[in-house]
Amino acid sequence: MKAINKNRDLIKYLSGEFSLLSSKLYKIDIYNDAKSDLIIDLYLELLYAKGDNRIKLAFTGIEEFSFYHHHSSYFYNVERYKLLEINDRFYLCLDPSEEVENISTEDQNFILSRDVYGFFI
């Protein structure tokens, strides 16, 4: 793995050539580390990136998350998303109710954390 960046700098990086738009989420790992802190790793394939096109986003200091899947739907193409910094927290929503830059109670498939790290894999 090769580190990309973290937090605010990662958000800036992912707003350019390495956008999550039209990516494919192919794996989610949810686990506790040695300190019993919850960590969520998302593995994505960037369909339009040149060169490195597989990344891992590692969320630590999880404050809230919610993911839902039903067997009748595909897992999981990213058609819209929000990746925001709000009050020193980092928010990724893969199924936003609206495309405004804030958290909505109607957003689905989201993570709110203290930190997010990006890696090429």
Could you tell me which residues come within 8 angstroms of residue 66 by beta carbon, excluding any fewer than 6 positions away? 108, 109, 110
Eight-class DSSP state of 77: B
What distances in angstroms separate CA 63 from CA 34, 38, 41, 109, 117, one per listed residue? 18, 9, 15, 14, 16
Q: What is the model's pLDDT at position 110?
A: 96
> What is the Cα–Cα distance from 78 to 96, expressed in whole angstroms?
11
Averaged pLDDT in 10-residue chunks for the chain of 121 residues: 96 88 94 92 88 93 91 80 95 87 88 98 94
Contacts of 100 (CB under 8 A, 6+ apart): none
Q: What does the radius of gyration of the chain's CA atoms come to, in whole angstroms? A: 14
What's the pLDDT at 24?
93
Distance of alpha carbon 94 from alpha carbon 44, whole angstroms:
12
